[in-house]
A = this chain, B = another copy of it.
């Protein structure tokens, strides 16, 4: 699908001029002759980009810009404001009103298209992340916008020590960020020592662009800096340097020397966007973690446990190591639920999970399989040690009754555990099944069955006991 651009200006000659400039972008262009018409079109079908001329009959361009940005449904729509004949003050005002950038009508096609590419590139990355986050369909974006952040960290890469320090000094007064400067020639050596900055300001001297462009390429290539927002400062208006910087991954360009006020405005919106993306990324990761976590106990869930057990079987098979599979089941748990209610039952499960987790090493797995049943996979080479671990789990659960928070009730709990050793099935199956993933899944299931039979034995023998599965004769 071609990107869809809405051009808004009340003077038709301006609209035509803009349309001609955009022709090289091969975008699909729609036009509106007034702010009112533009707002109607936005309601009907949100474009990918709004190009806003300076001449509107029914509203100033700045008012329209601000009006669009304050509507949550349109807030992410990129806006380029094009003044027929703009001054620095116009540009600052446009950025303040929420425009993503402001140009004069005389802007070259190359520069305009490169800026549009950079905006679209950022927008597409963001959209991909947003769709992924939505696929997890956890609560909406609103929450992701909240929360307290440490101040953003900005790194200034001036072409000389003096420049960097001067920029820092000027910015310091007007931005709430943590600033540090380091001259460009030095910065690459130390890059690996920084904690990932939120934004990097790179000074590009038109006469000597190599170092700056190379730093930009490095920033985009390195794991610690690839998500950083980059603002490139050109010492003079130069189209090819601007296009190059944007296409190499700069998020924004100050095209005619350093201007602290303008830099601050551009940094503000770059950093806001970067942090939104950071939060989305975190939510995606949280969503993924949720997929494998039992919400009540915080342990892994069955969905995680079974493939993990297969992998353990495979690992043990190739490394000729052994491991223990245990099924632990709370004794008479139904009575807890019946007598004290489900909320009490949940507290007991959470506390028992905590006690067992504490007994195990970091490399052991414990998962809640459902109801009051837990799976433990422990790395140990012999059945005696496995039995000792299981006894320790029984002791930890039995040691003292579970106290219900906010209620003066103490519930004594015990657990029965059935244990099977991995080698038991690995040996038995070795000849029957080839060394493939499928067979390790089968071994995992068989091990669960063996542990379950042993668990049944523990229950039959009076509960609060450990029983070992007997190797098949």
* Chain A contact residues, CB within 8 Å of chain B: 1-3, 26, 114, 117-118, 120-121, 124-125, 127-128, 132-133, 135-140, 142-143, 188-189, 191-192, 213, 217-218, 220-224, 226, 247-248, 284-285, 287-292, 295, 300, 303-304, 307-308, 310-311, 437
Interfacial chain B residues near A191, Cβ < 8 Å: 26
What does DSSP make chain A's interface, helix, strand, loop or mixed? helix
Kindly list chain B residues whose C-beta atoms are within 8 Å of the C-beta of A1. Answer: 192, 224
- In angstroms, Cα B113 to Cα A188, docked, is 13
Q: Within the assembled complex, what's the spacing in Å between the Cα atoms of A287 and B292?
A: 9
Smallest Cβ distance from A6 to chain B, in angstroms?
17
A143 surroundings in chain B (CB, below 8 A): 437
Roughly how many angstroms separate A166 CA and B395 CA in the complex, as a whole number?
A: 76
Q: Are A303 and B295 in contact (CB under 8 A)?
A: yes
Contact B120 A221 (CB under 8 A): yes
Q: Do A136 and B192 touch (CB < 8 A)?
A: no
Cβ contacts A to B, 6 pairs, < 8 Å: A114-B217, A117-B217, A117-B221, A124-B221, A124-B226, A288-B288
The oligomer's copy count stands at 2
Distance from A116 Cβ to chain B, minimum over Cβ atoms (Å): 8
Tell me if A132 and B285 are in contact (CB < 8 A).
Answer: yes
Q: Is the CB of B26 within 8 A of A137?
A: no
Chain B residues with CB below 8 A from A222, complex form: 3, 120, 124
| Chain B residues with CB below 8 A from A224, complex form | 1
- A120 closest partner in B (C-beta): B221
Query: Shortest beta-carbon distance, A55 to chain B, in Å?
Result: 29
Question: Closest CB of chain B to A215's CB: distance in Å?
Answer: 11
Neighbouring B residues of A132 by C-beta, 8 Å: 284-285, 288
A136 to B138 CA separation, bound complex (whole angstroms) = 15
- Indicate if the CB atoms of A291 and B121 lie closer than 8 Å: no
Given that A2-B192, A137-B292, A295-B303 are known contacts, is A128 also in contact with B311, CB under 8 Å in the complex?
A: no
Shortest C-beta distance, A111 to chain B (Å), equals 13
CA distance A188 to B292 in the complex (A): 44
| Contact A140 B311, beta carbon cutoff 8 Å | yes
Known: A288-B291, A437-B143. A128 touches B223 (CB 8 A): yes
